[in-house]
Structure 1
Amino acid sequence: MPRCLEIRDDIAGISVANHLRPMNAQETKGAMPHICVCICTFKRPGMLRRLLEKLEEQDSQGCFSFSVVIVDNDQAESARSVVESFTIGSSFQVRYCVEPRQNIALARNKAIENASGDFIAFIDDDEFPTSEWLRRLFNACKQHEVAGVLGPVNPYFEHEPPGWVRQGRFFERPTYPTGYRIGMWEARTGNVLFRRNILADVREPFRAEFGTAGEDIDFFRRMMAKGNVFIWCNEAAVFEVVPPERCTKKYLLRKALLRGSNFLKHPTDRAKNFAKSIVAVPLYGMTLPVMFLAGSHHFVRTLIKFCDHAGRLLAVIGLNPVKERDH
């Protein structure tokens, strides 16, 4: 079967952010569609290396070529050595740049700014794909004639987690039948491919005010408001590495508080969600003793819901107990 088109820079496939020019059409398109895979990373060199190695295994079956843009959101450039060593023998072009301001929205914008081609894909630095990942997304997007396609993110535990984590399925995310139309609250950027032309008149794809979380939901909300349709492809799976330090109650509750605190930044259903939280906080609070007796996973699940809604109410009065996401 035909190989992916090899696209290389003249200095080991690497460019530095301040001297970077976007890849032009001649470099990326050639005789077939081109996908640019965007990866934003922050102090996860080992996971980034694994992701890049898995991208080497992508089987395009000659349907498209692809390249990679990596945005290091660490001003100390902790990912640089990994990228430099990987590109020595890589079969695809890797472009490295730095966004020194620690903000996931700004990092995503930097990636888009320095990417080119017909399609843009996003995958997180703590994930890795199956060999059919890009092809499944690409084929679904073409066959259904939609703006973009999302796929499942399945947990990959580095070590066996506590029993309550397995029982509660806290790292498992909802899945849908292939072709299912995704709504804004179901959309994420951990596994997505979309047509680049949907950004033609968009000045700021991801809004910096979201900072730590929620920038992806806001992105899809605005894209969908313009009439763009996104669907699900259940066969285009990636795996999210879940290290032991995430398998704690503290991690899950901090994540819930952070998620709740961002609701004010979303204009959709703001009043409705606030009203729900006013009712939900006392109700979940009253059920906590019962859930404690029912078992750890029931207790933690209820406590997560409590923190989600409590985070909303605290945000209304200007309190934000969690100011940045755990990595």
Structure 2
Amino acid sequence: MFEKQKAIIYSVIIPTYNRSSSLLRLLTSLENISFPRNRWEIVVVDNNSTDDTRIKVKEYWKVNDINISYVYEKRLSFTVARRTGAEHARGDILVYIDDDVSVGKEWLKSIEEGFLNNNIGMVGGPIKPKYEEKPPKWVTEMNGIWLSLFDLGNHIQDVERIPGPNLSIKKKVLDELGGFPPDTIGVESEGKSEVIEKIYVGPGDWGLCQKVRSAGYRIIYHPKAIVYHHIPPIRLTREWWKSRFRGEGSCLVIYEQYEKKFGRIMIFLKIMYSLLEFLKSLIILSITKVLGIKKKEINIFWVIFSLSKAKAWLVMLFKPSLASELWEMGLSGVSSNQIKQSDRFIRFLR
């Protein structure tokens, strides 16, 4: 770990894995924000990267008059990386952003404005797309939330949720609530394969938002706290979207089984219900295609989503404790070898 010591209030936490070029683009955008440099820091959490991430951050650190820390976290888990960032942060406000975004000039200033009101626990803002190539029409017709896009207009307002790529929270609130729930285990291949290796195991930032509101804190959306999500070509492919919907479907099952601890009889009923959902979505899709009807909520991805839920419940039938095991792995992290040597039940969820 290396760092420059200065008094700060805001800690910009960036979990990263094998995206040194994207990370450098983000760091460069942070140089240009209109906010006093002695009031914020950057904490880069390298989640077991195998590329030149450490070298790039160190080079950046040497030539820029900015508060920056580099922390290596070998346990693969988004939740662990976020927690490690919080542990090394010196600010009262933890500003979480993803490594594949860049920020607007008024971004941090607007986050500060969002926290000026009473009883604010969390602040976020728009996440706008920057496609690396022109997206196909079917992508733009999908709900942008699947690409972590978010835009509620031009007014400051109370909201129920803020997406993780642009999420700020008071450190004392995060500590009070016990941190982020599990999110994902493993990492996304980002074009090196058509398959996404990571497993979605919990509600992550959405779950944290629920905890914040349940504790009586407000969540604020500020329209000028803008980040731009850089979307690579792999995320404009049907293979990526299928993988995403498969992951989200199995995640719902893992979360429900972790919460409810169903026995095998109830799990069997869940399998039957999920299969009916799958058949219903398949029939509706077939009818709409014949009739030439197009709707966002009716497409092959939702068919895959329903099927993935049925498959996940089938896995739980044979191993009901798997959900709790995955939840704990999400909280504690795993090594690269553990991911590669994961048992057949976990591989079946991918």
TM range (shorter): 0.7 to 0.9
CA distance in 2: counterparts of 1:120 and 1:89, whole angstroms: 25
Counterpart CA distance in 1 for 2:253 and 2:24 is 36
Please tell me the root mean square deviation across aligned C-alpha atoms, in Å: 3.2
Report SS of the residue matched to 2:163.
Answer: coil
Calculate the TM-score normalised by the size of structure 1.
Answer: 0.77
- 3-state SS, counterpart of residue 158 of structure 2: coil
Structure 2 counterpart SS, 1:28: coil
Equivalent position of 1:285 in the other structure: 282
The alignment partner of 2:63 has SS state of coil
Partner of 1:308: 305
Matched, 1:104 2:93: no
Opposite residue 156 of structure 1, the aligned amino acid is K
Aligned equivalent of 2:48 = 74
TM-score by structure 2 length?
Answer: 0.73
* Counterpart in the other structure of 1:155: 129
Aligned to 1:118: 92
Report what 1:17 is aligned to: none
Call closer, same or farther: CA 1:168–1:148 in 2, change over 3 Å.
Answer: closer
Partners of 1:153 and 1:239 within 8 A in 2: yes
Q: Is the 8 A contact 1:144 1:179 kept in 2?
A: no
Q: Which residue, out of 197, 211, 219, partners 1:222?
A: 211
For 1:250 and 1:263, how far apart are their aligned partners in 2? 20
Which residue type is aligned with residue 307 of structure 1?
I
Secondary structure, counterpart of 2:248 in structure 1: helix
The verdict on how the C-alpha distance between 1:299 and 1:173 changes in structure 2, with shifts beyond 3 A counting, is closer
Distance 1:322 1:163, change over 3 A: farther
Structure with more helix by fraction: 2
CA distance in 2, matches of 1:165, 1:209: 24
Matched, 1:180 2:154: no
Q: Cα distance 1:77–1:46, how it changes in 2: closer, same or farther (>3 A)?
A: closer
Please name the residue that 1:260 is paired with.
Answer: 249
Cα pair 1:138 1:193 within 8 Å, conserved: no
Instruction: Trace 1:184-203 onto structure 2 (pairs within 5 A).
Output: 186-202=161-177
How far the C-alpha of 1:45 sits from its partner, in A, is 0.8
8 Å contact from structure 2 (residues 130, 228) kept in 1: yes
Identity of aligned residues (%): 20
| Corresponding residue of 1:164 | 138
| Unpaired runs of at least 5, structure 1 | 1-8, 15-22
- Letter of the structure 1 residue corresponding to residue 117 of structure 2: Q
Q: Secondary structure at the match of 1:239?
A: strand
The yes-or-no answer on 1:90 pairing with 2:64 is: yes
Q: How many residues align?
A: 293
In structure 2, do the counterparts of structure 1 residues 195 and 111 end up closer, same or farther at CA, with 3 Å as the change threshold?
A: same
Write the deviation string for residues 229-282 of structure 1: whole angstroms up to 9, x where unpaired: 2122222121111111111011011101101211134459979xx798565422
Q: CA deviation at 1:121?
A: 0.4
Could you tell me which residue of structure 2 aligns to residue 136 of structure 1? 110
The alpha-carbon deviation at position 161 of structure 1 amounts to 2.3
Structure 1's 63 and 243: CA in aligned 2 closer, same or farther, altered over 3 A?
closer
Q: Which amino acid aligns with 1:38?
A: I
